[in-house]
Chains A and B, each alone.
Chain A
Amino acid sequence: MAQSSSGASDMAQQGAQWLQGLKETAMSMTQREKKDEDEGYSPFHGLQKSAVLQECRCFNDREINARRCITILTKILWLLSQGDKLTRLETTEVFFGVTKLLQAKDQQLRRLIYLVLKELKPSPEEVIIVVATLTKDMNSKMDLYRANAIRVLGAIIAATDPTLLAQIERHLKQALVDRNCFVAASALVSGIHLMHVNGEVVRRWVNEVQTALQSDNQSVQYHALALLHQIKRQDRLAISKVVASLTRTPLKSALAQCLLIRFAKKVMEEDPSGETRDRALFDYLEASLRHKSDMVIYEAASAICSLTNVTQRELSPAITVLQLFLCSAKPCLRFSAVRTLNKVAMVHPIAVTPCNMDMEGLINDGNRSIATLAITTLLKTGSESGVERLMKQITSFMSEIADEFKIVVVDAIRAMCLKFPQKHRVLMTFLSNVLREEGGFAYKKAIVDTILIVIGKVPEAKEAGLAHLCEFIEDCEFTLLSTQILHLLGMQGPSTQDPAKYIRFIYNRVVLENATVRASAVSALAKFGIQLNYLRPSIILLLQRCLFDNDDEVRDRATFLVALLKGIEGGGVGIGGLNARQLLMEPLGLPLHAIEISCKEYLAKPSDVPFTLANVTVAPEMLQKERKAAATKAATAAAADNPTTARAAPERHVEAEADLLSKLPQFVHLGQRFSSSKRAALSESGTEYEVSCLKHVYSSHLLLQFSVNNTLEDQLLENVTVAVDVSSTPGLAFESELPCSAVPFGQPGDTFCCLRRVEGLPIGSFGCTLKFLVKDVDPAKGMPEEDETGYDDEYHLEELEIAAADFMKRVPVVDFREAWDTIGGGCEVVETFSLSYNSLKQAMDAVIDYLGMQICENTGNPAESARTHTVLLSGVFLGGVQVFAIVNLRTDSAKSVGMRLTVRSAEMGISQFVASSVA
């Protein structure tokens, strides 16, 4: 009995244990499942590279175990895809092991071998060993072998020796039109890769690629289109032809359709005629909105939305489609739609407003990314009253979203701040809160940029914004942001109500931070010292403490600035013809490099006259370099997707560059530049040589800046000049020219021609001829042969016109009426004209163009249906004479517009000259 009872208790114990075990397994299983969801459990998790390499030894076995090898190859591929790097020696070992497997016939193994061969990227000397085998496979009867061999061979040739392509070209050409879609697609993809290394050979395949384009298979058609585009990439005309013809015959493949939409958009954007959009292509985009595949619909909608200067009417069908997507059950569609709408909302908030209702529904979407985008879009399109509510929503989940979307939110808030300046308090508080949270550099930078912009645009927010920034730099780990903020404090701080309170924050940086931040803190301090007399002594004291800093830059700056501040105290002048305030607070108009060269020259040959910046000259090469630097800067600004700065930057840059022209050693005598015209094209775009001209007016000279772009790949132009025939224009005389030494393909160069104004105000047009020395260039090498002497050639350009507008500078006045009355009617000229224009607006634009004057008091926007309109214009004429004009326009008939022009200025001659310039 005892035994049996003990047996029973044993059983019970075992049962309990078993139950316990079961429970534990179940628990661990649920845990693992949870883990699965979190990080995607992989069978290869925790795989060791060395262990796999060890296993690779079995590739050498006499009998190949296909199963085992497949597993090993998969592991290798997994390692490579995870970013594990094999050393050179390891690669070699694995590679030769894999090549031995080529004897195997197992299809699955074979496929993996091809993949590994492609992914391993062995050294060129070694990889060549498989070429013969692959060539053999390329001609095998198995489609699987053929297709894969083509891909691997293509990759090998692209990576090692492009000349090998000639040997297998015949096979590839056949493969392009192969019946098997896998083979054809492989050949096309190889073609795309090979295009970069050996374009000449690939270009010969056009006919085969065209045939492949007719294929019924989705992926073949897609790749064929991609390759065709690659082949014709250089030739804009051919591309637009291809696109135009394909848009008429719909493609079967949705992927190809998407690609075609992208190409069509590109063609529309690059259209040289610019203004008028290609109707047929746009209709195609619109028709694609009714395609049955979601992918194509979205592609078309997003293409339309991202067109440059798209109109409201063009946008509306695309928006309607996106609105439908917003309610889709698929998160992917919802996301892409709301993302595109978010972008559109930046430029056309009104167009997106109809979707607001649907977007409200997405605020609580389970997917945080969708919710974020929906809210930020609403912030951009919504009304002022909704701001608080939306901000509350965002704050609730700001910590749950990724940095990337936080940046989107911050961008939206920036737009909001500029739209509703009254709301700056709410938004600034939000910004300062998020600034305190953890975040990456890009995120913090976005916040700081936003605060900077808001401070710039909304004066009331300045004090609060600066306070937030001061607090931020107390604990900022990013040197770049610290220096940026310190610079801003230096610029803005002195003009606040209580500048002294910033001094503490800045000086703390000198004590606590790294050298770069210290240096900028020192500069910032000095800016306070220069502008505020009562603070100067204390700042000199603070700066003197920095004189013993252990960093060179900080010490140098401190020494210089102390000297400068003491100079102001002592009433001394500044350096190089500039006073202290100019030196510190205003940007230098010259490239630093040029100043450096001039300084060196001055030091080499010191004279009694002190060095001044006015004597600095700039070499033409430096001008080119400056332009390139500015262009990249503008590009990055544009890439940063900051529409306001991106647009303003190039304009400012053109001005700055024009100012530098008179610093060219040849043109120093011209003096201060008065004005510059708009760029006028002297040849049609798309011709052999594209030439455009900028006219710069100086007090007694006219400087013509010709930009020459060589569009011929096989030519190098040297000693390029533009000969100007001024014999027919009285009052102008040719003075000098500055040739451009070389204009290679695709790199525009500038050549200058300086004309002297002998008497009066010369107006008229004169012929121009481009003269140059041509050298033939092998496009592959990009350089002419050593012994190539070249030959002289000419190229006839269109006539260059000099109009009255060139001598006028657009300068606005604050109060037009008062200025008009002040100048009086002493030198008033009134003329009436009948202009043959279809609309009032056209006539107005043309007249303003002729006069080259600035529209005042927002009179440049006549109502659509108005029959009469008055425009107020002001400007400054050459020599600094103020000119005002009132233009009264009246629609006489459908084809003509009547105009009365009243011009007033201080000089009768100028009034008459301006008035007659319209005729």
Chain B
Amino acid sequence: MGLFKRLFGQITPGKNKVRILCIGLDNSGKSTVINWLKPKKAMAQDVVPTVGFSVEEFTKNGLSFTVFDMSGQGRYRNLWEHYYKEVGGIIFCIDSTDHIRMCVAKDELDALLEHEELRSVPILFFANKMDLPQAVGPVQCVQNLELSKITDKPWHIAASNALTGEGIDEGITWLGTQMGRAARAK
């Protein structure tokens, strides 16, 4: 049955559409992550700071993703919550070289975790910019953001380098399976 469903899903991708939200502080690499996931010919050459949000689409592992790539600039952060409703999953990008603002990221994350609409929505963390020397490891990020305290929803952290795509596929695959499980549970 599982195999059949998988095949069927491949043929009619419309059936397996998921909507996810990509958030994180400004300059943490959200748009770059999404950019790398896009089909080769749709990729943008240079990534500029996002104003507001932009909608992107790509297919991975038989799932067709619709991503709302939100802007991370301070003035837009309080607008994130308008997009929480009916969302399938969340990608939270962390700039692992930005030690100073890690606490800001934690504040934003805490507010997000508290939110009613996001109960049991899987969260994928990207500890981004791993290529840079001053980057801290994913374990350090987990400690800084106190991720171990999250109990009510599945989460996963992946070390990534969005410029080369390192670690991103792994993360998205995890998110895909989580969301698939959630869909089946319904």
A positions within 8 Å CB-CB of B:
60-63, 92, 96, 99-100, 102-103, 125-126, 128-133, 135-136
Contacts and interface: CB of A to CB of B under 8 A. Distances in A.
Between A92, A96, A100, the greatest number of chain B beta carbons within 10 A of the residue's beta carbon is seen for: A100
B88 A103 contact: no
Contacts of B66: 103
Contacts of B51: 128, 131-132, 135
Given A60-B85, A103-B66, 19 more contacts: A60-B86, A61-B86, A62-B18, A96-B79, A96-B82, A100-B68, A100-B83, A126-B79, A129-B71, A131-B51, A131-B52, A132-B50, A132-B51, A132-B54, A132-B71, A133-B52, A133-B53, A133-B55, A135-B51
A100 B71 CA distance: 15
Nearest to B54: A132
Nearest to A95: B82
A381 B19 CA distance: 74
A173 B17 CA distance: 38
Contacts of A96: 79, 82-83
Contacts of B82: 92, 96, 99
Interface string B117-128: 000000000000
A62 B17 contact: yes
B53 A125 contact: no
Which 8 pairs of residues, A with B, have the shortest CB-CB distance?
A129-B52, A96-B82, A131-B51, A132-B51, A60-B85, A103-B55, A60-B86, A132-B54
Contacts of A63: 17
A100 B66 CA distance: 11
Contact of B75 (A62, A125, A130): A125
B58 interface: no
Contacts of A100: 68, 83
B76 interface: yes
B108 interface: no
14 contacts: A60-B85, A62-B17, A62-B86, A62-B88, A92-B82, A96-B82, A99-B53, A100-B68, A100-B83, A103-B68, A125-B79, A129-B71, A132-B71, A133-B54
Interface in B50-107: 50-55, 57, 66, 68, 71, 75-76, 79, 82-83, 85-86, 88
Contacts of B88: 62
Between B18, B50, B57, B75, the greatest number of chain A beta carbons within 10 A of the residue's beta carbon is seen for: B50
A459 B122 CA distance: 92
Contact of B79 (A61, A102, A129, A133): A129
Contacts of B83: 96, 100
Contacts of B53: 99, 129-130, 132-133
Interface in B4-33: 17-19
Contacts of A103: 19, 55, 57, 66, 68
Nearest to B19: A62
Contacts of A136: 54
A130 B83 CA distance: 13
B127 to A, nearest CB: 25
A11 B174 CA distance: 72
Contacts of A62: 17-19, 86, 88
Nearest to A61: B86
Contacts of A126: 79
B17 A129 contact: no
Contacts of A135: 51
A860 to B, nearest CB: 72
B51 to A, nearest CB: 4
Contacts of A133: 52-55
A692 to B, nearest CB: 52
A135 B53 CA distance: 11
Nearest to A164: B51
Contacts of B85: 60
Contacts of A130: 52-53
Contacts of A102: 55
Nearest to A96: B82
Nearest to B71: A132
Contacts of A61: 86
B55 A129 contact: no
A132 B86 contact: no
A125 to B, nearest CB: 7
Contacts of A125: 75, 79
B117 to A, nearest CB: 10
A902 to B, nearest CB: 85
B83 to A, nearest CB: 7
Contacts of B55: 102-103, 133
A413 to B, nearest CB: 61
B180 to A, nearest CB: 14
Between B17, B57, B76, B86, the greatest number of chain A beta carbons within 10 A of the residue's beta carbon is seen for: B86
Nearest to A131: B51
A127 to B, nearest CB: 9
A100 B86 CA distance: 11
A100 B83 CA distance: 8
B93 to A, nearest CB: 17
A130 B53 CA distance: 6
A889 B71 CA distance: 87
A94 to B, nearest CB: 11
A90 to B, nearest CB: 13
A126 B82 CA distance: 10
Nearest to B52: A129
A665 to B, nearest CB: 56
A125 B74 CA distance: 12
A131 B51 CA distance: 6
Nearest to B15: A63
A71 to B, nearest CB: 20
Contacts of B18: 62
B16 to A, nearest CB: 11
A126 B52 CA distance: 9
Interface in B148-167: none
A110 to B, nearest CB: 12
B19 A132 contact: no
A786 B88 CA distance: 57
B147 to A, nearest CB: 27
Nearest to A101: B55
Contacts of A131: 51-52
Nearest to B44: A136
A133 B31 CA distance: 13
A128 B52 contact: yes
A803 to B, nearest CB: 69
A61 B86 CA distance: 7
A103 B66 CA distance: 7
B149 to A, nearest CB: 29
Contacts of A92: 82
A48 to B, nearest CB: 23
A472 B51 CA distance: 65
A131 B48 CA distance: 13
Contacts of B17: 62-63
Contacts of B19: 62, 103
Nearest to A125: B75
Nearest to B53: A129
B75 A132 contact: no
Nearest to A93: B82
A129 B86 contact: no
Nearest to B69: A132
Contacts of A132: 50-54, 71
Contacts of B50: 132
B26 to A, nearest CB: 13
Contacts of A129: 52-53, 71, 76, 79
B63 to A, nearest CB: 12
B22 to A, nearest CB: 13
Between A92, A128, A129, A130, the greatest number of chain B beta carbons within 10 A of the residue's beta carbon is seen for: A129
A354 B42 CA distance: 71
Nearest to A105: B57
B156 to A, nearest CB: 22
Nearest to A92: B82
A92 B81 CA distance: 12
A222 B19 CA distance: 44
Contacts of B54: 132-133, 136
